[in-house]
């Protein structure tokens, strides 16, 4: 989601001076992954009977969306002795237990028969379903951390930072890129990340999820961000913000802006998209409460095949329902390309061709601009400039695209000579794979 920064929301924070630190998200996430891996290595060492002083390394072989546990284990060396430990106990194996199987994986590495015999003997003598089950649980906990791309835990630019504090959510949007079972960073890790963001003198911090209002320490982290001089906001579905006690506590902690998911004007359609019946009305009540509390509110709509035809009506509804209560500059709207859905069933059918996006999106942007509501569809989560020809753009320039946003994007061959190429983030790869270069019209 993108959020145009209102002119009066800086809280007196000075612009980031040149030369201020820009943090490497991967470097900050790596200790989180390493800490989750260490118990797995310790359990494997004990289970396989590998003595201290003998190298033992482990990595996860399974693809991100594959629920099967497949651990590549290397013992000693050089060359290291390779094993695969898997919970697919029906596969060919040297040894099978209740929950796990062990196989030699040495492509090009001769099997050390005495070592194999010693390992299988050890596994037989230590055969307990409890130890296997403990290893499965620990390995899955590590995997839940390791399979989240570092840039999705937190992102930094010279101007802004975004930090995900949970992947739990009170909705289950079928187009969401997250798995609801991903494990959140522990509280101490989030504490450290916020301190680092403050020390790097970034200008603002957005706490996101999942749904951040479900985390009991959200108010504490907002307050700490404000103490560090950061503009503090959240990305949310606003369901819990309809509760006066919840919103009042966050405002008292220092909350200044909210970016709220609002994808369609129709309650039944919204409830189908979010797979959370009855929550649309709560989201709208939360939006109204945030406006009444004086927060800057950005409403974000994901544009997919189902929401695309209703974009003009959605914009009209936003003007009617929220335009009048909002103070000048308090309300803004952004439109986003859908990312690659975690739900594989939805993934293949969610992406409309870019040339079909232009007309309805243009009408929606024009409706909002005519009502004095700043609206954008470019920026890190938005559309390439050629899709937005003729569109009014309101508010300050969006935050520059971060490298993490470019990872899932690509350019068509036709984009090579485009005069806007340097300023363009590109198109989501799924878009190009499904529709080719349809809708890409370079500026020449």
d(CA 169, CA 30): 25
Contacts of 18 (CB under 8 A, 6+ apart): none
Q: Which residues of 325-348 are buried (b: 16+ CB within 10 A; e: fewer)?
A: ebeebbbbbbbbbbbebbbeebbe
User: Position of tokens 């320039």?
Assistant: 397
Model pLDDT, residue 360: 97
Assign 236 a pLDDT band (cuts: 50, 70, 90): very high
Model pLDDT, residue 42: 95
Closest of 256, 157, 259 to residue 203, by C-alpha: 157
Given the DSSP bridges, would you call strands 331-336 and 374-376 parallel, antiparallel or unpaired? parallel
What burial class does residue 255 get, using C-beta atoms within 10 Å of its C-beta: 0-12 exposed, 13-18 middle, 19+ buried?
A: buried
Model pLDDT, residue 6: 33
pLDDT, tens only, 153-176? 888 776 889 999 998 999 999 888
DSSP state of 416: G
Report whether pLDDT(323) > 90.
Answer: yes
pLDDT, tens only, 282-309? 999 999 999 999 999 999 999 999 999 9
DSSP state of 408: T
pLDDT, tens only, 62-118? 776 677 899 999 998 788 888 999 998 777 888 898 899 998 876 555 567 787 888
Highest mean pLDDT, choosing among 76-90, 133-147, 312-326: 312-326
d(CA 403, CA 399): 12
Fold (CATH) for 157-400: TIM Barrel (3.20.20)
> Beta-strand (E) ranges in 308-400?
331-336, 374-376
Q: What residues does 296 pair with on adjacent strands?
A: 257
Closest of 170, 227, 241 to residue 197, by C-alpha: 227
Report whether pLDDT(211) > 60.
Answer: yes
Residue with more model confidence, 311 or 202:
311
Average pLDDT, the chain: 85
Report whether pLDDT(348) > 70.
Answer: no
Assign 238 a pLDDT band (cuts: 50, 70, 90): very high
The three-class DSSP label of residue 193 is helix
Q: What residues does 57 pair with on adjacent strands?
A: 74
Model pLDDT, residue 160: 86
Assign 223 a pLDDT band (cuts: 50, 70, 90): very high
Token representation of residue 276: 């959370």
Lowest mean per-residue pLDDT among 49-58, 152-161, 429-438: 152-161
Percentage of the chain beyond pLDDT 90 is: 52
What burial class does residue 3 get, using C-beta atoms within 10 Å of its C-beta: 0-12 exposed, 13-18 middle, 19+ buried?
A: buried
Could you tell me the residue ranges of all domains in the chain? 31-145, 157-400
pLDDT, tens only, 384-409? 999 999 888 644 444 444 444 566 78
Closest of 168, 331, 156, 336 to residue 257, by C-alpha: 331
Closest of 137, 210, 217, 227 to residue 172, by C-alpha: 210
User: Position of tokens 């961000």?
Assistant: 225
Question: Angle, to 10 degrees, between the axis of helix 218-227 and the axis of helix 244-253?
Answer: 20
Residue 361 contacts residue 326 (beta carbons within 8 Å): no
Task: Indicate the pTM of the whole model.
Answer: 0.79
Q: Which residues of 74-90 are buried (b: 16+ CB within 10 A; e: fewer)?
A: bbeeeeebbbbbbbeee
């Amino acid at each position: 989601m993108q959020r145009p920064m209102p002119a009066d929301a800086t809280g007196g924070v000075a612009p980031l001076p040149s030369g201020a630190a820009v943090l490497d998200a991967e470097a900050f996430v790596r200790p989180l992954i390493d800490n989750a891996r260490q118990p797995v290595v310790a359990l494997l060492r004990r289970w396989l009977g590998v003595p201290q002083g003998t190298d033992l390394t482990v990595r996860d072989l399974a693809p991100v969306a594959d629920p099967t546990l497949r651990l590549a284990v290397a013992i000693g060396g050089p060359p290291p002795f390779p094993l695969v430990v898997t919970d697919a106990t029906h596969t060919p194996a040297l040894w099978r237990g209740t929950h796990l199987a062990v196989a030699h994986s040495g492509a090009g590495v001769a099997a050390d028969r005495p070592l194999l015999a010693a390992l299988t003997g050890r596994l037989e003598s230590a055969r307990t379903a409890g130890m296997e089950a403990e290893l499965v649980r620990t390995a899955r906990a590590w995997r839940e951390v390791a399979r989240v791309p570092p840039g999705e835990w937190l992102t930094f630019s010279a101007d802004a930072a975004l930090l995900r504090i949970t992947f739990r959510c009170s909705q289950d949007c079928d187009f969401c890129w997250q798995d609801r079972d991903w494990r959140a960073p522990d509280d101490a890790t989030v504490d450290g990340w916020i301190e680092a963001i403050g020390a790097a003198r970034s200008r603002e911090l957005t706490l996101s999820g999942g749904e951040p209002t479900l985390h009991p320490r959200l108010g504490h982290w907002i307050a700490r961000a404000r103490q560090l001089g950061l503009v503090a906001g959240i990305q949310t579905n606003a369901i819990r913000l309809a509760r006066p006690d919840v919103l009042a506590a966050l405002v008292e902690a220092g909350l200044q802006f909210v970016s709220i998911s609002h994808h369609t004007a129709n309650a039944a359609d919204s409830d189908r998209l979010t797979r959370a019946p009855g929550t649309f009305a709560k989201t709208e009540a939360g939006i109204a409460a945030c406006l009444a509390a004086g927060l800057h509110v950005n409403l974000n709509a994901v544009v997919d095949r189902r929401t695309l035809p209703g974009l003009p009506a959605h914009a009209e509804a936003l003007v009617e329902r929220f335009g009048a209560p909002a103070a000048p500059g308090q309300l803004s709207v952004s439109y986003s390309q859908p990312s690659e859905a975690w739900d594989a069933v939805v993934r293949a059918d969610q992406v409309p061709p870019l040339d079909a996006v232009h007309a309805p999106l243009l009408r929606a942007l024009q409706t909002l601009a005519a009502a004095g509501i700043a609206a954008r569809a470019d920026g890190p989560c938005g559309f390439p400039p050629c899709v937005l020809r003729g569109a009014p753009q309101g508010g300050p320039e969006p935050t520059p695209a971060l490298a993490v946003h470019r990872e899932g994007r690509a350019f068509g061959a036709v984009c090579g000579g485009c005069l806007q190429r340097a300023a363009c983030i590109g198109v989501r790869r799924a878009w190009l794979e499904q529709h080719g270069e349809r809708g890409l019209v370079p500026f020449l």
